[in-house]
A and B are shown apart, each in its own frame.
Chain A
Amino acid sequence: MGPRARTGPDAAAGPGDVPPIPPAEPAPPAQLAQPAPAARPPRPRREPADPAELAEAVQRARDGDEDAFRLLYRTVQPGLLRYLRGLVGDEAEDVAAEAWAQIARDLSSFNGDADGFRGWAATIARHRALDHLRRLRRRPISALAVEDLTELVSSHDTAAAAIDGVDTDAALAMIASLPPDQAEAVLLRVVMGLDAVRAGEVLGKRPGAVRTAAHRGLRKLAGQLGERNRR
């Protein structure tokens, strides 16, 4: 099962899949959510889950096909934005816009498959983010404290939280609160769908180092979740 082939009875949803709605309350040990109920607002759905379709879109966009580029954007941008959220917090939208402008400019110099494109896009985004932080002389921030997240989530009812994606934001904030190398490793694997090799290329690290950082991040998250459950 590849990083983005999130299928199966208890699989998590990728950005292109039919989304399950996880319950908002963290306390009950939840079984993983079921396929989405009918009462769900329409979401942009033209995202291919199929890597071959994405690879073809890359080639067509290189030839100037606007619809192909739009497809690339809709497929990759959500994950890219979430990755950037972990790096630059609420300036993620601005940095993402810079990244896509560079992607558009440099597309002719990229030639690869779907995974390659994701990795290339992540690399561009990361450089833009680091430039952004250097300009502002800041380090990557932790978006929210874990304590704030409990309030954030419990202040919404389940349906609203699911629809608003508060659960997503809460999850992303928790990951972003990890030490930066762990946060990046987890985000690149999980929201960008990169494997350890490609994530290593983005980060300039060996795949083993990326795996180690990601595993440490997961252990820390598991610990935090356990602590939250005991409150």
Chain B
Amino acid sequence: MGQHRDRPLDAATAERLLAGGGGEPAELARLLAAACGPARPSELAGEQAAMLAFRSAQAAGLPGPVQAHRRWMSARWRQLMPIKVAAVAGALAAGGMALAAGTVALPQLHGSPTVDNTGWPGVTDGRPGTGAPTGLSSTNPNAGSTPASPSLDGLCVAHLAEAAVDPERARDNPAFAALAAAAGGPDKVTDFCRNRQSAATPSADPDPGSSPAPSPTPSVNPPATKPNPGRSAEPQTHRPSTPAAAEPVDDSAR
């Protein structure tokens, strides 16, 4: 054992040690073993905070799985295509850099804009304090803090979009539980949302039953155009806006 210093630490030995193989040189092997020794209770002290963050994200975010996001996106693109939304969608496809720079008026979308199936989403350096990559990381403008309740209007937009594609899934999706509570039952959500949207947009699509949202312009998430959306403490008052009506605050894209 004491002769280990006569042997140079060659690449093969190094790789073996790094892979956890152990052996020679013994002290180095022991050091590496100590470095990856068992978890200590103090290292899991942040578990409760992490679980809270998970629950908040589940409550604030919309349907988790990427498939729902893609379906929703394609449903939106098919059914409402004003130039503004197309421009935004183009910006998203380009990687969301415009969004990250906060220069585009954003529709309310769920999930991360940098969805990437290879498992490496565009994890850019986030904003200080909250780490939210962009304002689209959740529909909740208070993405950096624990939201009080999800925006019903935002959920309605997503629900109606999903209902247009897959009504059963839209009805059963637990992410819309807040809507079910507000509507008085999961079966009532679709009507609830349609009524809600047509009440807010008098000049809406004359056939609300066939489109996911009577308003061609989806709700804009005002804080998301700021560079640090997660820290915004603005109220969650999303109203579907009409193109002719007053635009929400930050329409600086144009």
Contacts and interface: CB of A to CB of B under 8 A. Distances in A.
Interface of A: 1-6, 8, 10-15, 17, 19-20, 22, 26, 29-33, 43-44, 47, 61-64, 66, 69-70, 73-74, 77-79, 81-82, 93, 96-102, 104-113, 116-117, 119-120, 123-124, 127-128, 130-131, 135, 165, 167-168, 170-172, 174-175, 186-187, 189-191, 193, 201, 211, 214-215, 218-219, 221-222, 225-226, 229
Contacts, number: 260
Closest 8 CB pairs of A and B: A112-B119, A12-B33, A19-B38, A109-B112, A6-B20, A171-B34, A78-B39, A100-B50
A50 B96 CA distance: 36
Interface size class of B (residues with CB under 8 A): 35 or more
A193 to B, nearest CB: 8
Contact of B26 (A20, A29, A111, A221): A29
Given A110-B119, A112-B119, A131-B131, A93 B46 contact: yes
Q: Which interface residue of B38, B41, B51 has the most chain A CB atoms within 10 A?
A: B38
Contact of A2 (B19, B115, B117): B19
A105 B53 contact: yes
A104 B36 contact: no
Contacts of B41: 43-44
Contacts of B118: 112
A116 B119 contact: yes
29 contacts: A10-B23, A13-B33, A22-B30, A29-B1, A29-B4, A32-B23, A32-B30, A64-B175, A66-B54, A97-B50, A101-B53, A104-B50, A105-B53, A105-B61, A105-B112, A108-B66, A108-B111, A112-B118, A112-B119, A127-B125, A135-B128, A171-B31, A171-B37, A190-B18, A190-B32, A193-B36, A215-B14, A225-B25, A225-B31
Interface string B57-69: 1100101111001
